[in-house]
Amino acid sequence: MKIGIYVVILPTLEIRDIMKRLTGTVKYLPLIILMILAASCGRQTSEQEAELQALYLQLDNEIARSRDYEEAKEKRIAQLRDQLSDSAAAGVDRVAVTDSLVTEFEAYNADSALYYVNLNLERPEVRKFPGAYTRLLIKKADIYAHAGLFSDALTAIHRIPADSLTAPLLEEYYATNSALYQYLSEYTNEHESSEVYEQTRSLYADSLNQVIGPDSFNYLTFVATELARNGNTARAIEIISGRLDDYQVGMREYSILASTLAYIYKISGDYENYKHYLALSAISDVKGAVKENMSFREVATVMFEDGDIERANRYLKKSIADANFYSALLRNAQSSKLLPVIDDAYTTVQDELTGRLRRMVWISSILSMVLIVTILFIMKQFKSLRRAKDRVSLANEELSKLSGQLKEANAELKGKNAELNSLSVQLKDMNKELADRNTELSEFNRIKEQYAGLFMEYCSSAISSLQHYQLSLRNLVAQGGNRASLLKKLESTDMADQLLKNFYVKFDEAILNIYPSFVRKFNALLLPDEQIMLKNGELLNTELRLFALIRIGMDDSAKIAEFLRCSISTVYTYRSKMRKRAINPATFESDVKNIG
């Protein structure tokens, strides 16, 4: 890879030149390789250390939040206890709820876990099923083993009837025995019996290997670990690493697998990964509120060996507190052996800090005296400066007076300029207002001229119609028409209807001439489904004429009714219905008046 990098960086070098340079440096090649390897290892070590420190920081943050995780577990436990107390009324499966409580307590509090195991063992419905009863006995022995009550655990496991160990239960039976003898081996590691317990554990692990499948969790924790003990650490790491992501951080299974993986890395000599997975196991224990743990004791040992005494002390005390809460005698005994060593180291560190603090106090005192002398000297200098400053101040005052006079003159000049600017602005506003008034007046004159022209035309047409009507009456009289024909002619409304129709046509034309987009803008004020659709040949209909009158200033309903030849109530009805059809009913008529 390195040569490839040099080829990319120096593409202009000839192959011959490169070969010469390589040949010339052959005698230094071992040293170069060592330097490259050292730099690479140093960088890798630095990255691993940074990642490890990030995990320790995350662990500290999770410990700070540990009470939240414990409260969440207590809440789940309280809910299960409520279900159990209400099981008779609610018809809840008491055995299943009790099993759930055992699951919650088995890594949290041994005494409570044993209580609920015994509660199920006493139930008649459990005794009817030997498999279920045997499973509970195995669980009881497992909890005794985790609590360090090895005599009780051995008694419980030996009382299990051999004929009740069906094929599905053999895996749990062998796994529990293997774990029990492993704990006994750890507990008596300084005695001869430890080797006997280790041999027994190995036998149970072999038996477990005969009945277990590769997908089982116990396969990962016992069989894979046995592979590592027999020297095949690479295969063990491969098996467990491939399954670790199947579980979430905070689950008991994740904590166990991470701790097992850390143990395998430790016996393989990979201490960086050992620390990495040990920290992950501890983080998972905190998030899962696991009190039966060995991760904090191991992490405390690592911290002590790395010289971080403060963390070692804190983690070990948490390990002991968790063990006491769980009632784990084994974990408590293991942690207690380490406590005096770390506690002495912690005390030594504190003593060193106290000594440093004393030295710092003496140094601070000396520095304080120097500082006081320096301050006195500075104060003397300040007095000299103050006298010089007074002289400068007098000169500045005279300059300030002159400057003030100049400022007053400038201010007066600015005031005059501001007045001129204000007058200019007022003049511009007045010119603009005058222009707007002229525009409005021109528009008013245009509308007035259009109104006058249209209604002069209409009046002329109406006069002509009346003349024709008068002529028709004369002709009827001249032709000797009788009275009945004359009355019929006089009572006919055809002429009035025609005149009214013509009037409306002229009115519609006038409105649309003055406001060409009146219909479109009026419809824009209405809801989409409520807009007015005109018939073919119509310019305006009655509703549009009504609001056209409002637009040109006729707001009185009585005058509108007279104009449209309808009743006032009809006008009110039209106005009310149209408001309901508007997008903004409250401002509808004022919006109509603003149509341009």
| Distance (Å, whole) CA 108 – CA 121 | 20
Average pLDDT taken over every residue of the chain = 79
C-beta of residue 560 within 8 angstroms of C-beta of residue 543: no
Q: Can you give the pLDDT at residue 15?
A: 35
| Distance (Å, whole) CA 558 – CA 213 | 98
Span 293-319, pLDDT tens digits: 778 888 888 888 888 888 888 888 888
Higher-scoring residue by pLDDT: 5, 253? 253
Report which of 47, 462, 185 is spatially closest to residue 39, judged by C-alpha positions: 47
Q: Can you give the pLDDT at residue 448?
A: 58
Pick from 15-24, 323-332, 350-359: least confident: 15-24
Judged by DSSP in three states, 526 sits in: strand
Q: Which two tokens stand for residue 480?
A: 């000797």
- Per the document, the length of the chain is 596
Q: Which two tokens stand for residue 411?
A: 């201010």
Residue 308 sits at φ, ψ, to 5 deg, of -90, 80
Q: What is the average pLDDT across 360-386? A: 82
Span 225-266, pLDDT tens digits: 888 888 899 998 998 988 888 899 989 889 999 999 999 999
Q: CA 26 → CA 17, 23, 30, 32, distances in Å? A: 14, 5, 8, 10
Q: What is the average pLDDT across 393-406? A: 81
Residue 315 sits at φ, ψ, to 5 deg, of -65, -40
Q: Can you give the pLDDT at residue 173?
A: 92
| Distance (Å, whole) CA 462 – CA 460 | 5
Span 419-454, pLDDT tens digits: 878 777 887 887 787 777 766 666 655 665 565 555
Type of residue at 556: D
What distance lies between CA 499 and its chain's CA centroid?
75
Q: Which residues contact 200 (CB under 8 A, 6 or more apart)?
A: 177, 181
Report which of 315, 221, 225, 223 is spatially closest to residue 265, judged by C-alpha positions: 225
Q: Can you give the pLDDT at residue 342?
A: 54
Q: Can you give the pLDDT at residue 302?
A: 87
Report which of 278, 237, 234, 273 is spatially closest to residue 255, judged by C-alpha positions: 278
Q: Can you give the pLDDT at residue 2?
A: 35
Q: CA 232 → CA 206, 237, 262, distances in Å? A: 16, 9, 15
Report which of 209, 201, 195, 159 is spatially closest to residue 181, judged by C-alpha positions: 201
Q: Can you give the pLDDT at residue 442?
A: 65
Q: Which residues contact 589 (CB under 8 A, 6 or more apart)?
A: 547, 550, 575, 579
Q: Which two tokens stand for residue 416?
A: 């005059």
Q: Which two tokens stand for residue 358?
A: 């004393």
Tell me the β-bridge partners of 233.
none
Q: Count Cβ neighbours within 10 Å for each residue of 301-327 and write b for 16 or more, e otherwise.
A: bbbbeeeebebbbbbbbbbbebbeebb
Q: CA 127 → CA 118, 132, 133, distances in Å? A: 12, 8, 6
- Confidence grade of residue 10 (pLDDT, cut at 50, 70, 90): very low
Domain positions in the chain: 2-64, 506-593
Of the CA atoms within 13 Å of residue 417, those in its CB half-sphere come to 6
Judged by DSSP in three states, 582 sits in: strand
C-beta of residue 300 within 8 angstroms of C-beta of residue 342: yes
Q: Can you give the pLDDT at residue 18?
A: 37
Long-range contacts for 157-162 (Cβ within 8 Å, ≥24 apart)?
160/134, 161/130, 161/134
Q: Which two tokens stand for residue 415?
A: 């005031």
| Residue showing tokens 């396969």 | 219
Residue 552 sits at φ, ψ, to 5 deg, of -90, 10
Q: Concatenated DSSP letters for 231-244?
A: T-HHHHHHHHHHHH
Give percent of the chain with pLDDT exceeding 70: 77
Q: What is the average pLDDT across 6-18? A: 35
Span 21-34, pLDDT tens digits: 434 444 444 544 45
- Confidence grade of residue 469 (pLDDT, cut at 50, 70, 90): low
Q: Can you give the pLDDT at residue 458?
A: 57
Cα first-last separation, the chain:
80
| Distance (Å, whole) CA 116 – CA 118 | 5
Pick from 110-119, 228-237, 476-485, 508-517: least confident: 476-485
Span 60-115, pLDDT tens digits: 998 999 899 989 989 999 999 988 887 554 555 888 888 899 998 888 888 898 99
Q: Can you give the pLDDT at residue 315?
A: 85
| Distance (Å, whole) CA 308 – CA 270 | 20
554 pLDDT above the threshold of 80: yes
Q: Can you give the pLDDT at residue 522?
A: 93
C-beta of residue 59 within 8 angstroms of C-beta of residue 49: no
| Distance (Å, whole) CA 279 – CA 330 | 21
- Confidence grade of residue 350 (pLDDT, cut at 50, 70, 90): low
| Distance (Å, whole) CA 473 – CA 345 | 135
Q: Which two tokens stand for residue 520?
A: 């479109």
Report which of 577, 584, 571 is spatially closest to residue 527, judged by C-alpha positions: 584
| Residue showing tokens 């149509």 | 595
Q: Can you give the pLDDT at residue 529?
A: 93
Neighbours of 405 (CB within 10 A): 10
| Distance (Å, whole) CA 433 – CA 420 | 20
Span 33-67, pLDDT tens digits: 455 444 444 555 578 788 888 988 998 998 999 89
Higher-scoring residue by pLDDT: 159, 573? 573
486 pLDDT above the threshold of 80: no
Q: CA 135 → CA 155, 212, 373, distances in Å? A: 15, 16, 83
Instruction: Give the CA radius of gyration of the chain.
Output: 52
